[in-house]
Amino acid sequence: MKHYDVLFIDLDDTLYDFSSNSRDAYEEVYTLLDYDRYFDGFQHYYTIYTDYNAQLWVRYAAGEITRDYLNAERYTHPLRVVGAPDPDTLGTRFWHESMQRLPLGKRLMPHAREVLDYLRPRYRKIYILSNGFTELQARKMQSAGITHYFDGMVLSEDIGVNKPHPDIFLHALRVASTTADNALMVGDNFEVDILGARGVGIDQIYYNPMNKPVPSEAQPTHVINSLVELKEIL
């Protein structure tokens, strides 16, 4: 089995259970702001939000929209859909309240801590490589108690380009003082993490807990359905 010098690992929904933690935060803000005035329960709001938010993140990763546009749009859009009054003001308040709560979640993906305990002594350097916002990622790691496993973070917002753009992966290699042949990317987003790393010659492990179809013409180096499988590969 090939041994790598450096690991790059995505954070949200690869190690940190962002989906669960963010849902808890949004439900708290939904209740605080009495959004039942506008929606048929939290799930009604959350379905509208998540569907549109996913579309916005694709555009953000492609460099088509800014971070500020993403944040403004994802919180005002559900309010516009239901015809709530003054959606811009309401959405801005939801955004600000959410930013206070989003980094506080402590949940990790299954087996994440076990696997980090296994990986840390086996690799010279381990970095987070993420498109997440700078002021949130470090606080999320602190809340979940995983900061000490990593040598640092390479964040798209600090560099000015998002995964899957090759420049962020090339920058990560420079930061880690390594080469593509000696590095490995682990992530849950096929287009962003896997194809991005593949494009610069970095091997990849696609974390695919939902067992999504993988294009036959772009097979990752490895595919896993559980993080614990990393202990068998690495």
- Indicate the pLDDT class of residue 195, thresholds 50, 70 and 90: very high
How long is the chain? 234
- Indicate the pLDDT class of residue 217, thresholds 50, 70 and 90: confident
- Indicate the pLDDT class of residue 1, thresholds 50, 70 and 90: confident
Average confidence (pLDDT) over 167-174 = 98
The pLDDT, as a whole number, for residue 2 is 87
Buried b (16+ CB within 10 A) or exposed e, 190-210: bebbbbbbbebebbbbbbbee
Evaluate if residue 145 carries a pLDDT over 90: yes
φ, ψ of residue 226 in degrees (nearest 5): -140, 145
Average confidence (pLDDT) over 193-208 = 98
Could you report the per-residue pLDDT of 61-93, keeping only the tens digit for each?
888 999 899 999 999 999 999 999 999 999 999
- Indicate the pLDDT class of residue 201, thresholds 50, 70 and 90: very high
Evaluate if residue 144 carries a pLDDT over 80: yes
Evaluate if residue 216 carries a pLDDT over 90: no
Question: Model pTM?
Answer: 0.94
109-145-25 Cα angle (round to 5)? 65
Domains of the chain: 6-17+108-233 (3.40.50.1000), 19-104 (1.10.150.240)
Mean pLDDT (the chain, rounded) = 96
DSSP strand E in 156-228: where? 183-187, 203-207, 222-224
Percent of the chain with pLDDT over 90: 94
Amino acid at 139: R
